[in-house]
Amino acid sequence: MRRSLVVAIAAAAIAAPLAIGTGTASAAPKAKAATAPVVDFNKDGYADLVLGAANATVGGKQEAGYVAVVYGSKSGAGQAHRKVVDRAGAGVPGDVTEYGRFGKELTAADLDGDGYTDLVVGAASGGTVVLWGSAAGLTDAAAELPGAGGSLAVGDFDGDGHRDLVTQEYKAAPESDDTGMTVSYGPFTRGGEAARKDAIGFGSFRELGEFVAGDLDGDGVDDLVTSHGFEDRAYGSRFWKGAKSGLGHTYKGLKASVGGAVADVDGDGYGDFVTRDNGSSNEDLDSDAGTVRVDYGSKDGPAATRTTKITQDSPGVPGVGERGGYVGDVYYSGDQFGASISAGDADGDGYADIAVGVPGEDVTAARKNVLDSGNIVLLKGAKSGLSGKGAQAFTQTTPGVPGASEKSDKFGAEVLLSDVNGDKKADLTVTAPWEDGTYRDSGAAWVFKGAATGLTTAGISSFGPAALGAPEKDARLGERLAR
């Protein structure tokens, strides 16, 4: 039987960082933000949260889905100021349908250029829609985004100051018979029409995994990383450079990856690509112990040699990396260190930190080994780069964290660093979509406050669907977080 993790509040013992490759950093570009713009629907200076519940039963329709919005405030994520949106909402295109899975994909950006963040909601059916921000928050008015579907991401890919939307497409470009992407350049009209669009093909058998956007070459224009695979095989990821003319049609090949974030973890002015390393195969992702990889940014984009890998077995990182398997007849997943990743400056030192979800972690609770209850780890950024030095870890068994570690909660399935209380330190939102409420697997979220020492258990807020006045049945609240 594999060992379980007992997590303390205190940071792990300080240790030397992992070695970095021999590549050297280029001259630093002009200083810029280390993370993406704040999601702020009412422009009050506090980050707002959006939690998807695509599996929820709505109006008696199984897996119809909804999204829940929790607004930030000086006191944090205020459950009293919230909004629940589904297809039955006034102005939202489409109907509440079984298996419609409204909220399956989420992203947020100021698409129409009015200064208020807007919310883009994807679904399994019924089309992708945008809800417009305003001084009062998200409005009831929404527009369908023609042709948008699948994976979603936002960035300023042509550097004109307007946010752009990239979406998955099939047969998107003349040179491709297979999958591709469409870049819809802002500003958008209130009818959902982009200023212009561009289709980019991926070529044969390059199924899309995820998009990750951010400035990786320090030129002030956002770039894009796409991950690819076919069935269980993982292909190399691709770096698409942004420029004044828009996102390029040619790419630079990268090592294979799954998801991630772009942020400046070493303070050199270049965004770094922080991702989950999946080797050459996606077959074992569920049973894998998990590895986080940092490909450091440069004037040429993500470096091929200046890279770092971090696991739970790295110096300073709490816990032990463990693969999945069977205990008797019961299967348990691997730790999946890096199953979710988010970037933000939690301790206010000017370096981006990285929150890592470990949803398959087993935890010792009441002297019992609780399978797949979940864990989160905060890795600290520093001039030397990302490492386990000063890392923190938390489970529902950690003193001060509400709730209890239970089998298959998968605490850490989604993580998001954002400043919800406006104190210039990123707070961490953690979800456990399989947390039980009145109904099984209704889901829940926790918001940890950022502090000078990193994350703190003081004043954690936690809530499930019932606290938000949202449907609970099968909701799996927090399977997606807008970012």
Residue 1 lies in a domain: no
Q: Could you tell me which residues are beta bridge partners of residue 421?
A: none
CA distances from 274 to 17, 257, 339, 426 (A): 16, 9, 12, 17
Looking at the domain assignment, is residue 297 inside a domain? yes
Residues 6+ apart with CB under 8 A from 182: 147, 148, 166, 167, 169, 172, 197, 198, 199, 200
Q: What is the pLDDT of residue 233?
A: 85
Total domains in the chain come to 1
How confident is the model at residue 178, as a pLDDT?
61
Q: Is 404 exposed, middle or buried (0-12, 13-18, 19+ CB in 10 A)?
A: middle
The Cα 402–Cα 129 span in angstroms is 35
Domain CATH code at residue 397: 2.130.10
Report the percent of the chain where pLDDT is more than 70. 90
Sheet containing strand 49-53, strands side by side: 82-85, 66-70, 49-53, 480-481
Quick check: 5 pLDDT over 50? no
Q: Which of 93-102, 177-186, 202-211 has the lowest mean pLDDT?
A: 202-211
pLDDT tens for residues 288-343? 999 999 999 999 999 989 999 999 999 999 999 999 988 788 888 999 999 999 99
CB 362 within 8 A of CB 373: yes
pLDDT of residue 59: 94
Residue 224 pLDDT? 98
Lowest mean pLDDT among 112-121, 196-205, 252-261, 389-398: 196-205
Q: Please give the torsion angle defined by the CA atoms of residues 210, 478, 70 and 417, in that order, rounded to the nearest 10 degrees.
A: -60
Taking residue 19's Cβ as centre, other Cβ atoms within 10 Å add up to 8
Q: What SS3 state is found at 466?
A: helix
Within a domain: residue 41?
no
Is 80 exceeded by the pLDDT of residue 55? Answer: yes
Is residue 56 within 8 A of residue 65, CB to CB? The reply is: yes
Q: Which residues contact 70 (CB under 8 A, 6 or more apart)?
A: 48, 49, 50, 51, 77, 78, 79, 81, 82, 463, 468
At 404-459, the pLDDT tens digits run 999 989 999 999 999 999 999 999 999 999 999 999 999 999 999 999 999 999 99
Backbone angles phi, psi at 48, to 5 degrees: -105, 155
Domain-embedded: residue 34? no
Residue 162 is assigned to a structural domain of this protein: yes
Query: Does residue 211 belong to any structural domain of this protein?
Result: yes
Half-sphere exposure of 386 (CA within 13 A, CB side): 32
Answer whether residue 14 is part of any domain: no
- pTM equals 0.91
Give percent of the chain above pLDDT 90. Answer: 76
Entry field: residues in the chain: 483
* Residues of the domain holding 385: 49-481
In a domain, 30, yes or no: no
Residue 218 near residue 209 (C-beta atoms within 8 A): no
